[in-house]
Amino acid sequence: QVQLQESGPGLVKPSQTLSLTCTVSGGSISSGSYYWSWIRQPAGKGLEWIGRIYTSGSTNYNPSLKSRVTISVDTSKNQFSLKLSSVTAADTAVYYCARGGGRPFDPWGQGTLVTVSS
């Protein structure tokens, strides 16, 4: 079955760009009609959808983050990536990747904690 795994730096300095990659295993990221999403969760708080990408490269972003988010896909590596620019402490969270665009999300990666601090 499909599995997802997030990777990237666990510490990012304020004003810099957060970069994460999600590697998909157990199936091709290009097979099926799926979106691939990023979702985050600050400690002790709820889930926030960041954005999604279709395998064609078409993207949709949360309006509250749209100006700072870029999601891309590399089908040759079976990966998709997240870039979040101009980060602040408010962007400290566990970041999850998931298959789906919200109808629904399944499965999810295990999550990776990103801390924004100098």
Partner 1 sequence: QSALTQPRSVSGSPGQSVTISCTGTSSDVGGYNYVSWYQQHPGKAPKLMIYDVSKRPSGVPDRFSGSKSGNTASLTISGLQAEDEADYYCCSYAGSPLFGGGTKLTVL
- Contact positions vs partner 1 (CB under 8 A): 37, 46-49, 60, 62-63, 96, 101-111
In whole angstroms, how close is the CB of 100 to partner 1 at the nearest point?
9
In whole angstroms, how close is the CB of 5 to partner 1 at the nearest point?
11
CA distance 95 to 42: 9
Cα–Cα–Cα angle for 99, 111, 65, rounded to 5 degrees: 70
In whole angstroms, how close is the CB of 14 to partner 1 at the nearest point?
26
Instruction: Single out the residue of 70, 74, 34 nearest to residue 50, CA to CA.
Output: 70
Question: Which H or E run includes 74?
Answer: strand 69-74
Q: Indicate the residue among 56 and 118 with the shorter CB distance to partner 1.
A: 56
Q: Indicate the residue among 79 and 105 with the shorter CB distance to partner 1.
A: 105
